[in-house]
Amino acid sequence: MNGAESLVRTLIQGGVEVCFANPGTSEMHFVGALDRVEGMRCVLGLFEGVCSGAADGYYRMTDKPASTLLHLGPGLANAAANLHNAKKAGSGIVNIVGEHALYHIKYDTPLTADIEGIARPFSHWVKTSPTSKTVAGDGALAIQAARVAPGQISTLILPADTAWGEADGVAETPATPAPAGPTHDEVVAAAKALMHGKSAMLFLGGRALRARGLELAGKISAKTGCTVQAAGGTARIERGAGRVPVLRLHFVVETAQAQLKGTEHMVLVATKPPAAFFAYPGKPSVLTPEGCTVTTLCPVEGDPLASLEALAAELGALNEKPSGIAQPSRPDKPIGKFTLEGLGQALGATMPEGAIVVDESVTTGRGFFPYSVGAPPHDWLNNMGGSIGFGGPVAVGAAVACPNRKVICMIGDGSAMYTIQSLWTMARENLDVCVMIFSNRSYKILYSQLADVGAAQPGPRAIDMLTLDRPTIDFATMSKSLGVPGGQAHDLEELTKQLSFAMSTKGPYLIDVVM
Amino acid sequence: MNGAESLVRTLIQGGVEVCFANPGTSEMHFVGALDRVEGMRCVLGLFEGVCSGAADGYYRMTDKPASTLLHLGPGLANAAANLHNAKKAGSGIVNIVGEHALYHIKYDTPLTADIEGIARPFSHWVKTSPTSKTVAGDGALAIQAARVAPGQISTLILPADTAWGEADGVAETPATPAPAGPTHDEVVAAAKALMHGKSAMLFLGGRALRARGLELAGKISAKTGCTVQAAGGTARIERGAGRVPVLRLHFVVETAQAQLKGTEHMVLVATKPPAAFFAYPGKPSVLTPEGCTVTTLCPVEGDPLASLEALAAELGALNEKPSGIAQPSRPDKPIGKFTLEGLGQALGATMPEGAIVVDESVTTGRGFFPYSVGAPPHDWLNNMGGSIGFGGPVAVGAAVACPNRKVICMIGDGSAMYTIQSLWTMARENLDVCVMIFSNRSYKILYSQLADVGAAQPGPRAIDMLTLDRPTIDFATMSKSLGVPGGQAHDLEELTKQLSFAMSTKGPYLIDVVM
């Protein structure tokens, strides 16, 4: 058994059963091993950002790391933006990067680069395995590190000679220590902070936003009168009818401040204190009202469900009926010209039970939540790293993770062009994804941002940097060229008709929402 | 004048007149300044790899750095693969990356990342400017560093508050020290090494491959009988009728060894000793024959033209007639089914005078050189970093640099999908680029690489990682969706007809060569 095969077998034995790959020469032995070993699904991406984003989406839906397979430094660099997003979201990934044979590196040939240096800003754990006999053991350590709560990026660098040399066998993956729950003092402090009625807020992130976490928050709110708020960046919210709804903290500073207004006591669960996405002249970075006390019940790397259970128990809230449970209800199918409200209604009116909404709608979708609050139970995934090009790849990974659920992927046109290659993987794997592109033909968010940073009224040259209308991009045609059927929608009626069609069939479909 | 404006003015005054940009919030003041300052052409890319590759192509054709404008760490990461290629090619770039306001970084918001850490593996010079008063001076230093021979990557990180704060004015760009010429001893040593007739070889890279460098090499060859060979990776070769032709060192180890066979004395000019692109079990990394002496006349960062002039003078060769000057000649327009030979002939038969060939044809185009050796004078640009996704972006930059010349961009289908967004910029700027996609529907190079690394006969799962035929990609349709007209060619007659059409019109055109 060579080193590559020992690694593939170690991954499978360690529960890593999917590999999102774009291999090259130095990864050929890994690829060769796939035919000798059962149990690894290898999914090809035409660009490495598709692979890393897919691994992110897969983790969010399974709580299990997938692996990537990337070609040397530049392949890793291409994956890095979506690794950044995954890192910020707490998604675990076993990121495998080929390297030249170690004796070859000194010749500084075209693909030679400082792979560890490239990996470090995007990884929690980085190692170059030195020999074919260490690859399996290092692979096991990489899996262990990827599983550290809430999930970490492990980058294992695999020199070609360690792949083709003889291995010692398969390695056992060591257990990852469970995340720590809160101390009794922490629970008491949080309980005390929440005893202030509606001037107190439970501020939730991470896995606190799964159904059970929100149910516990609803019980605590019923008992104490505190408000419940989700952070701005959320990896996955379980929502819809029968669940306790939350709103995400808004991107715009003033709107976020309004959401937090009156909060004197904030209790954090699996998130950090709220801060502005960007700095703006004359606006604060810290979004909590002045004088607000902030108590951490559970840090980002803690155990939010155990923390909320302990808090509810401390407050005697475990048997409360959660406040605010969403009742089943759907908006009517909207008609007429596109409005942001209408788009939210179209989604809420058509999404099926178990849908996974991957939301990279940027400016368009910020107000969509109310229209699907009573829709059938579903998951909603947002970008936590701010790097665009997130939506398509994450939808690929969510669809691979959950083949029996419909993935609805909403992307702004500017973002969509970053990783448009993801459509091809959806076609190749026949993934059940409905992609909606919101074609406003601009980086629309930047118009408000120009004003917010205090840049002058944009002139023609500045506007030229914000517009995507010269030429316009025909996403439905592009989609077909990549094997994904699709159409354009010019008003809400066309959109709901196409959404209904997409929801009633299996396989990828793209709707270009021409706004 | 704010910091951003002081930087834009400093760039223009320092001769940096083009900015390949994909800005975001933190770069809005730079964008805003474009409307107040004349002299900076700002070209939008839909993905940062287009911007960095375009800056590479621009430098190769002008010997002047362009700037990029990138959005924080992930924007830089997206640009990194083509920065890697540019760095390996010795292209100078002033790479400008936005950053959060310095006081905001500690809040670790979504886009916060270690930007300097990301930049370092891809840059020769990295600096975060600390205040709005230092931005202009740091910009001038970045230009100076980018101009160090043969060209360097400078990364200037621009925190948002340094962009919006008050500046002191424009900074003067300090002169960059000229590259060193050879010492007399070095010239004598090289001359002595070449006195061995055809067992001696002049091995050329960098600017030694411009017309004058090759002419000098031809004179030296005429005088001494030495052979002349280009390195495997070449940034730009000036070739065609009236010039001294060279072959590039082949990618395949055995073929490269055959090219170097019999060489007992090698003199290096602006390149390193030849080494294999990858390591393979049982094959050498070093490609020079055993016992071959290697003499460096001019290192990569030296002055190849001054070195060759001095060498020719030392050998008394300045008045020789260069050996092997290419006579004007063209192949006939080929007909029939696609063959690699026929593709090379189609190109040689149709390329106009002054064409700039950007070659990312990977396996398809390796043998094209003989068919255009007597074509009208033209430039030929190759990838020196090995990271695919090079062709389209570099073609964008070459076309911006040379608006009166036809750019012919040859890309393998696998490579094309990495930076397909470049087509949109070609349409937007109406760049005079003819793109040929060689659609063999596979990462074809990897078939031979599997064998070369000694991986077993590929089974179905391995082959699945090498094929692009499920679904096939319709590049002509995709091209139209991005605003670039195009068509498919199914045989050599269709290809030459479309090539002739593309050569006779201005503006972008794509030919999908369905092999």
Q: What is the pLDDT of residues A121-160, one digit of tens each?
A: 999 999 999 999 999 999 999 999 999 999 999 999 999 9
Supply the angle between the helices B72-89 and B48-62 in degrees, to the nearest 10: 30
Where b means 16+ CB within 10 Å and e means fewer, B21-59 reads bbbbbbbbbbbbbbbbeeebebbbbbbbbbbbbbbbbbb
Q: Say if B451 is an interface residue toward chain A (CB within 8 Å).
A: no
| Cβ within 8 Å, pair B458-A277 | no
The SS3 call for residue B165 is: coil
| Cβ within 8 Å, pair A31-B465 | yes
The residue in chain B having the minimum alpha-carbon distance to the alpha carbon of residue A69 is B465
Residue A503 has pLDDT above 80, yes or no: yes
Measured CA to CA, the distance from residue A394 to residue A281 in angstroms comes to 34
Give me A128's structure tokens: 């170059």
* Model confidence pLDDT, tens digit, residues A332-352: 999 999 999 999 999 999 999
Tell which wins on pLDDT, B364 or A249.
A249
pLDDT band at A453 (very low <50, low <70, confident <90, very high): confident
Measured CA to CA, the distance from residue A6 to residue A169 in angstroms comes to 6
| Strand bridging mode B200-204 / A407-412 | unpaired
Q: Say if B277 is an interface residue toward chain A (CB within 8 Å).
A: yes
Residue B82 has pLDDT above 80, yes or no: yes
| Among B residues 165-224, those touching chain A with beta carbons less than 8 Å apart | none
A181 CA to chain B: closest CA distance, Å?
Answer: 24
Give me A171's structure tokens: 């390695």
Nearest CB to A109 within list B24, B104, B277: B277
Neighbours of B83 (CB within 10 A): 33
Neighbours of A174 (CB within 10 A): 14
Q: Which residues of A touch B74 (CB under 8 A)?
A: 80-81, 84-85, 385-387
Measured CA to CA, the distance from residue A52 to residue B181 in angstroms comes to 46
Mean of pLDDT over chain B: 96
Q: Say if B10 is an interface residue toward chain A (CB within 8 Å).
A: no
Measured CA to CA, the distance from residue B273 to residue B290 in angstroms comes to 13
Alpha helix segments (H runs only) across A225-322? 253-260, 304-314
Q: What is the mean predicted confidence (pLDDT) over B327-352?
A: 97
For chain B, how are helix, strand and coil distributed in percent, rounded to 5? 40, 20, 40
Measured CA to CA, the distance from residue B462 to residue B457 in angstroms comes to 9
Nearest CB to B160 within list A34, A36, A279: A279
Measured CA to CA, the distance from residue A172 to residue A155 in angstroms comes to 18
Q: Tell me, what's the pLDDT at B346?
A: 98
Q: Which residues of A touch B453 (CB under 8 A)?
A: 25, 28-29, 160, 164
| Cβ within 8 Å, pair B421-A424 | no
Q: Say if A250 is an interface residue toward chain B (CB within 8 Å).
A: no
Report CA B103 to chain centroid distance, whole Å. Answer: 38
0.90 exceeded by pTM: yes
B514 CA to chain A: closest CA distance, Å?
Answer: 14
- Measuring CA to CA, which residue among A471, A264, A159, A74 is closest to residue B427? A471
Q: Tell me, what's the pLDDT at B198?
A: 94
* Model confidence pLDDT, tens digit, residues A5-21: 999 999 999 999 999 99
Which residues sit opposite B94 in a β-bridge? B67, B154
Measured CA to CA, the distance from residue A217 to residue A244 in angstroms comes to 8
DSSP state of B286: B
The helix (H) or strand (E) run that includes residue A197 is none
Q: What is the mean predicted confidence (pLDDT) over A504-515?
A: 97
Q: Of A300-314, A340-354, A361-375, where does mean pLDDT reach its minimum?
A: A361-375
**Biggest CA-to-CA distance, chain A:** 68
pLDDT band at A266 (very low <50, low <70, confident <90, very high): very high
| Cβ within 8 Å, pair A118-B121 | yes
pLDDT band at B453 (very low <50, low <70, confident <90, very high): confident
Q: Tell me, what's the pLDDT at B310?
A: 98
Measured CA to CA, the distance from residue A220 to residue B436 in angstroms comes to 63
A455 CA to chain B: closest CA distance, Å?
Answer: 5
Q: What is the ipTM of this complex?
A: 0.97
Q: What is the percent of chain A where pLDDT is above 70?
A: 100
Q: Tell me, what's the pLDDT at A7?
A: 98
Query: Are B315 and B220 a contacting pair, CB within 8 Å?
Result: yes
Tell which wins on pLDDT, B301 or A444.
B301
Q: Tell me, what's the pLDDT at A348?
A: 98
Q: What is the mean predicted confidence (pLDDT) over A381-406?
A: 98
Q: Say if A475 is an interface residue toward chain B (CB within 8 Å).
A: yes
Q: Tell me, what's the pLDDT at A226?
A: 98
A140 CA to chain B: closest CA distance, Å?
Answer: 23
Measured CA to CA, the distance from residue A81 to residue B450 in angstroms comes to 29
Measured CA to CA, the distance from residue B514 to residue A437 in angstroms comes to 29
- Measuring CA to CA, which residue among A138, A131, A175 is closest to residue A2? A131
| Cβ within 8 Å, pair A454-B164 | yes
The residue in chain B having the minimum alpha-carbon distance to the alpha carbon of residue A442 is B46
Residue B306 has pLDDT above 90, yes or no: yes
Q: Tell me, what's the pLDDT at B458?
A: 84
Query: Are B220 and B307 a contacting pair, CB within 8 Å?
Result: no
Measured CA to CA, the distance from residue A259 to residue A108 in angstroms comes to 55
Residue A448 has pLDDT above 90, yes or no: no
Alpha helix segments (H runs only) across A225-315? 253-260, 304-314
Mean of pLDDT over chain A: 96
| Cβ within 8 Å, pair B78-A161 | no
Q: What is the mean predicted confidence (pLDDT) over A382-386?
A: 97
Size of interface A-B (CB pairs under 8 A): 315
Neighbours of B504 (CB within 10 A): 10
- Measuring CA to CA, which residue among A377, A378, A374, A380 is closest to residue A330? A374
- Whole-Å CA distances, A440 to A391, A468, B506: 17, 8, 30
Measured CA to CA, the distance from residue A154 to residue A127 in angstroms comes to 8
**Amino acid sitting at position B513:** V
Q: What is the mean predicted confidence (pLDDT) over A356-370?
A: 93
pLDDT band at B448 (very low <50, low <70, confident <90, very high): confident
Q: Say if B8 is an interface residue toward chain A (CB within 8 Å).
A: no
For chain A, how are helix, strand and coil distributed in percent, rounded to 5? 40, 20, 40
Nearest CB to B84 within list A35, A113, A482: A113
Q: Tell me, what's the pLDDT at B450?
A: 85
| Cβ within 8 Å, pair A28-B450 | yes
Q: What is the mean predicted confidence (pLDDT) over B112-139?
A: 98
Substitution target from B481, B484, B488, B514 for chain A, most A beta carbons within 10 A: B481
pLDDT band at A449 (very low <50, low <70, confident <90, very high): confident
| Cβ within 8 Å, pair B110-A80 | no
| Among A residues 378-397, those touching chain B with beta carbons less than 8 Å apart | 383-387, 389
Measured CA to CA, the distance from residue A322 to residue A228 in angstroms comes to 11
Q: Tell me, what's the pLDDT at A81?
A: 98
Q: Tell me, what's the pLDDT at B26?
A: 87
| Among A residues 46-85, those touching chain B with beta carbons less than 8 Å apart | 46-47, 49, 72-75, 77-78, 80-81, 84-85
Substitution target from B35, B162, B166 for chain A, most A beta carbons within 10 A: B35
Nearest CB to B80 within list A80, A418, A472: A80
**Amino acid sitting at position A240:** G
Q: What is the mean predicted confidence (pLDDT) over A394-420?
A: 98
| Cβ within 8 Å, pair B29-A455 | yes
The SS3 call for residue B204 is: strand
B74: CB partners within 8 A, 6+ apart: A80, A81, A84, A85, A385, A386, A387, B111, B113
Q: Tell me, what's the pLDDT at B34?
A: 87
Q: From the CA atom positions of chain A, what is the Rg in Å? A: 23
Q: Tell me, what's the pLDDT at A72?
A: 97
| Cβ within 8 Å, pair A161-B104 | no
Nearest CB to B281 within list A164, A475, A482: A164
Q: From the CA atom positions of chain B, what is the Rg in Å? A: 23
Nearest CB to A461 within list B35, B121, B277: B35
Q: Which residue has the tokens 């448009």?
A: A420
Residue B32 has pLDDT above 80, yes or no: yes
| Cβ within 8 Å, pair A481-B483 | no
Q: Tell me, what's the pLDDT at B54?
A: 99
Q: Which residues of A touch B111 (CB under 8 A)?
A: 277-278, 385-387
Q: Tell me, what's the pLDDT at B276?
A: 97
Q: Say if A507 is an interface residue toward chain B (CB within 8 Å).
A: no
**Amino acid sitting at position A172:** E
pLDDT band at A447 (very low <50, low <70, confident <90, very high): confident
| Among A residues 120-139, those touching chain B with beta carbons less than 8 Å apart | 120-122
Residue B480 has pLDDT above 80, yes or no: yes
Q: What is the mean predicted confidence (pLDDT) over B157-181?
A: 96
- Measuring CA to CA, which residue among B34, B41, B35 is closest to residue B18? B41
Q: Tell me, what's the pLDDT at B151?
A: 98
- Measuring CA to CA, which residue among A181, A224, A189, A229 is closest to residue A209? A229
Measured CA to CA, the distance from residue B111 to residue A88 in angstroms comes to 9
Residue A456 has pLDDT above 80, yes or no: no
